[in-house]
Amino acid sequence: MQEFLKKPGFMVQSGTLGADLSYLLAVVFTVLFLVAWWMAKKGQGTRHHKLIFVSAVSMVVYFVAYYYARSLGVLALEGKEGFGGPPEVYTSVFLPVLYTHLTLVTLGLIMVPYMILEGFRACDKVNGDYVLKPGELKADPKKFTRIWLWILGVWVVVEVLCLLAGKSWQAQLAYFLIIMTIAGVVGLEKLIEKWLPDGAQRHRIVGRGTMVLFALILCTSTATYLMLYVIYPLKAATG
Ligand code: HEM
């Protein structure tokens, strides 16, 4: 698989198949999300929901498969050797753009499941169509406690399985951080509920923020791709 992804790309001369495929799919998913935003703006709640759902599921499947296949070894993370430009540009432009991109992608991966769940909670089905229902939308505090207890339970089970399987402490820490993030998102919902008690308004405001996040992800992935394969390809540096 690694070898397949390292084959020459189809978009620019210096790109690899992995990089071109990754960039192209990132563009497709982001554009699908932005189209879903446009549908919501036109009042097409059900089409908006369907498109978000399909693109979110395929995006997550793609992310997991792609990063697993490349073992997180995106050329960008392989260090300066993968970058053909001057070292100053690498440190002061490329790395900040790359880290911003990775932070935005992480935020996006948190916001998508949050927004999908919030979307279902904030909607009613009227004549078969999803419609945002105005009014206060607050989860029962007992429900929050139950969710946290479930998360704690899952973490205990995961850690016990890790111990039994003899996994490294780094793997255990990674699982701990993932589960802490999920617990954090549940906590965040409590804060957002206070700030925006109206469920429909919450969906619109936080949803717009999420869509802007996707537009920024598109900008930063384009900048990373351009710097790596168009402006400063490796060949240019090595002659
Ligand atoms: C990643 C997930 C989602 C995001 C980012 C998102 C974002 C948005 C945004 C930004 C709007 C307001 C459009 C505007 O006025 O600017 C909106 C409206 C709406 N959303 Fe979502 N949404 C998501 C998921 C869902 C889901 C899962 C459902 C249904 C179960 C849903 C149902 C609706 C409905 C019914 C509207 C109102 C459309 C209208 O004005 O008639 N959304 N959404």
Q: Which residue type occupies 87?
A: P
Is pLDDT above 60 for 21?
yes
Name the pTM for this structure.
0.83
How far is residue 200 from each of residues 45, 56, 110, 207, 211, measured CA to CA in Å? 12, 21, 20, 10, 16
Cβ of residue 130 lying under 6 Å from some atom of ligand 1 = yes
Average pLDDT, the chain: 85
pLDDT band at 18 (very low <50, low <70, confident <90, very high): confident
The ligand 1 atom at the shortest distance from the C-alpha of residue 46 is 35
Q: Residue 204 above 90 pLDDT?
A: yes
- Distance of CA 157 from the midpoint of ligand 1 (Å): 35
State the closest ligand 1 atom to the C-alpha of 214, by its place in the atom list counted from 1. Answer: 5
pLDDT tier at 237, thresholds 50, 70, 90: very low
DSSP 81: G
Quote helix, strand, coil % in the chain, to nearest 5.
80, 5, 15
Ligand 1 center–CA 182 separation, angstroms: 22
Mutate to test the pocket of ligand 1, among 52, 137, 205 (most ligand atoms within 8 A of CB): 52
Give 56-82 pLDDT, tens digit per residue.
Answer: 888 878 777 766 665 444 555 556 667
Residue 44 scores a pLDDT above 90: yes
